[in-house]
C-alpha cells in the first residue's frame, strides 16, 4: 500500500524556487511504493489503495533538481514541445469474457480528448501547450490475470508490450479496481527504468466508458501530464514551493467533485485550481492547463524525452 497524505515523521526544508519567499518546512511520509508512481483517485479521501503513491516533498524536490540539472547541460537547446506529434501506442488488456474491451472508436476518442486538452482545453484561460498526439498502434491482449491484476504482472506486461523510446507514449488499459483511476511514470526515471515508462488507466475511464464522474477521458489527460513531468496542483499543500509552477495557486489538498470557489490556502494568492487537469476533480469540472504548466512540460520534453537525445 502506498501512502497518500503529506504527514509523517521526516521533515524537509524546501526553498522557494522563485527566491521571493522564505523557506518552509514540510512534514513528509516515507515512500511505501517506488518513486514515479503517481495516481489519480476516484475518491481522494477514501484512504490508500494499491499503486496510489503521492510524491513526498523530498521526492518532488529531487525530481525538480534533476530537471534543473538536465536543463543546465542543455543551455544551447531551445526549450519547446516536440516539433512533431507524440506517437501513442495504446495497449488494451481485457478479460476473456469481454470485460475491458475498448473499441477502436473509444481509443480514437481518447486521442481526440488529449489533443483538445493540450491545445487549449475547454476554457478561454487554457494554455495551448504545443503538444499534439497521434495514434501509432493499438495492441490487444486477452488475459484474465493481466486484466484483473495489472500491478501484479506489470513487469511482464511491459516487457512484452511496450514500444518505442522515451518519446513514445505507451498507454495501458485494464481493470484497476474501484478506487484507482490511473497512474504514470515520470520522465526523469526513463534513463534508469525504461521498461516502466508509460501511463496506466482504468479501461472504463476512456470516453464512452461507464465510470461515473470519470468517463470523459481526463484520467488520460491527467496521467499524460505526469508523463510530461507535471506534479499534482496540491503537491506540498500550502507550503512552498507547491507544485513548482508559478501560475497555479496553492492548494492544501486534492479536490473531489467540483468545489469551485474553494480557498484552502487563504494566505496564498488565488482560489484552489480545481478546474486544472492536474487536480482530482470530476472529469466535467476539468478544463485547462496553465502557461506555466505548458512551459514545465516543454522543459521536461527537452531534458528527457526529445528524440534529439536518442
CB 252 within 8 A of CB 7: no
Find, among 253, 242, 84, the residue nearest to 169 by Cα. Answer: 84
CB 135 within 8 A of CB 90: yes
CB 231 within 8 A of CB 243: yes
Burial 67-97 (b: 16+ CB within 10 A, else e): beebeeeeeeeeeebbeeebbbbbbbbbbee
Question: Parallel, antiparallel, or unpaired for β 24-28 and 10-14?
Answer: antiparallel
Grid cell for residue 195: 521498461
Q: Which long-range contacts (CB under 8 A, 24 or more apart) does 8-11 make?
A: 8/56, 10/56, 10/58
Q: Rounded distance, CA 138 to CA 249, Å?
A: 38
| Helices 291-300, 57-72: crossing angle, 10 deg rounding | 70
Per annotation, catalytic residue among 58, 223, 251, 299: 223
**What's the helix, strand, coil split of the chain in %, to 5?**
30, 15, 55
* Active site annotation includes 253: no
Question: Phi then psi for 91, rounded to 5 degrees?
Answer: -105, 105
Q: Rounded distance, CA 134 to CA 89, Å?
A: 9
- Provide Rg for the chain, Cα atoms: 18
Catalytic machinery residues: 223
Amino acid at each position: 500500500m502506498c501512502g497518500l497524505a503529506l504527514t509523517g515523521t521526516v521533515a524537509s526544508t524546501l526553498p522557494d524556487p522563485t527566491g521571493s519567499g522564505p523557506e518552509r518546512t514540510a512534514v513528509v511520509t516515507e515512500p511505501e511504493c517506488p518513486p514515479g508512481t503517481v495516481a489519480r483517485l476516484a475518491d481522494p479521501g477514501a484512504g490508500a489503495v494499491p499503486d496510489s503513491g503521492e510524491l513526498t516533498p523530498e521526492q518532488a524536490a529531487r525530481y525538480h533538481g534533476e530537471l534543473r540539472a538536465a536543463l543546465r547541460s542543455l543551455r544551447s537547446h531551445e526549450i519547446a514541445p516536440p516539433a512533431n506529434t507524440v506517437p501513442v501506442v495504446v495497449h488494451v488488456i481485457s478479460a476473456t469474457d469481454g470485460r475491458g474491451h475498448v473499441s477502436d472508436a473509444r481509443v480514437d476518442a481518447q486521442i481526440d480528448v488529449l489533443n483538445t486538452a493540450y491545445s487549449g482545453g475547454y476554457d478561454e484561460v487554457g494554455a495551448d501547450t504545443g503538444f499534439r498526439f497521434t495514434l501509432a498502434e493499438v495492441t490487444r491482449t486477452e488475459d484474465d490475470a493481466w486484466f484483473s491484476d495489472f500491478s501484479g504482472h506489470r513487469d511482464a506486461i511491459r516487457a512484452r508490450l511496450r514500444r518505442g523510446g522515451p518519446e513514445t507514449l505507451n498507454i495501458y488499459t485494464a481493470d484497476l479496481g474501484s478506487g484507482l483511476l490511473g497512474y504514470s511514470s515520470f520522465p526523469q526515471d526513463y534513463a534508469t527504468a525504461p521498461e516502466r515508462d508509460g501511463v496506466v488507466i482504468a479501461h472504463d475511464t476512456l470516453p464512452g466508458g461507464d465510470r461515473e464522474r470519470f468517463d470523459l477521458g481526463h484520467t488520460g489527460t491527467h496521467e499524460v501530464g505526469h508523463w510530461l513531468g507535471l506534479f499534482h496542483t496540491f503537491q506540498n499543500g500550502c507550503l512552498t514551493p507547491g507544485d513548482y509552477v508559478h501560475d497555479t495557486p496553492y492548494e492544501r489538498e486534492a479536490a473531489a467533485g467540483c468545489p469551485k470557489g474553494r480557498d484552502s490556502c487563504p494566505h496564498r494568492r488565488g482560489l484552489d485550481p480545481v478546474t486544472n487537469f492536474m487536480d482530482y476533480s470530476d472529469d466535467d469540472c476539468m478544463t485547462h492547463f496553465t502557461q506555466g504548466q505548458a512551459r514545465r512540460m516543454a522543459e521536461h520534453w527537452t531534458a528527457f524525452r526529445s528524440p534529439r537525445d536518442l
